[in-house]
Amino acid sequence: MSIAPISLYPCLFFESQAEQAARFYTSIFPNSSIDTINHFTDTGHDFQKHLIGSVMSVAFTLNGMTWLALNSKPKDIPMNESVSFQIICEGQEDVDYFWGKLTEAGDDGAEIDESKQICGWVKDRFGVHWQVVPKLVEEVMTSGNAERMQKTMKAVMEMKKIVVKDIVDALEGTA
């Protein structure tokens, strides 16, 4: 059987912050843009309960990858850690940049849940979960070298934001 090429991209559900989230993310990642913004009409208004004319969805690009933010999320379906997005960073400078941006509180006073900051994980002000991972960690964890993987995991488990120097020290036995 032959399957035609398909598009595959994440769709993030929000109650009403789709545009704000898309603008936040496109301000952080290179090669990013807001592509289209669609608004609610009277079609489905009885079901959706959003104001006619308010933002329904935002198609956007992050680092060349298509995403969709959708204002349709029922309040009883929270985002959680079962889905996260990995940002593979070249080095510590990139880790610091993405960590800093994703942990910024919003102008609306949205707080960052620091209890979710462990092992390179960040829960941003919109509730989306990210893993800010140095390339070194990804390379070790996919190398198949059990000893190096164990040393790396032991070091990472003690961190919030991953520190490349501490990973190198753990791998070299100087930690």
Over 80: is that where the pLDDT of 107 sits? no
Residues in CB range of 8: below 8 A, 6 or more apart: none
pLDDT average, residue stretch 143-171: 95
Radius of gyration of the chain (CA): 19
pTM of the model: 0.88
Strand partners, 82: none
pLDDT at residue number 87: 98
Domains observed in the chain: 8-76 (3.30.720.100), 78-175 (3.10.180.10)
- Percentage of the chain beyond pLDDT 70 is 90
Confidence of residue 73 (pLDDT cuts 50, 70, 90): low
| pLDDT digits 0-9 by tens, 32-41 | 999 999 999 8
Over 80: is that where the pLDDT of 9 sits? yes
- With b for 16 or more beta-carbon neighbours within 10 A and e for fewer, the 80-91 pattern comes to eeeebbebebee
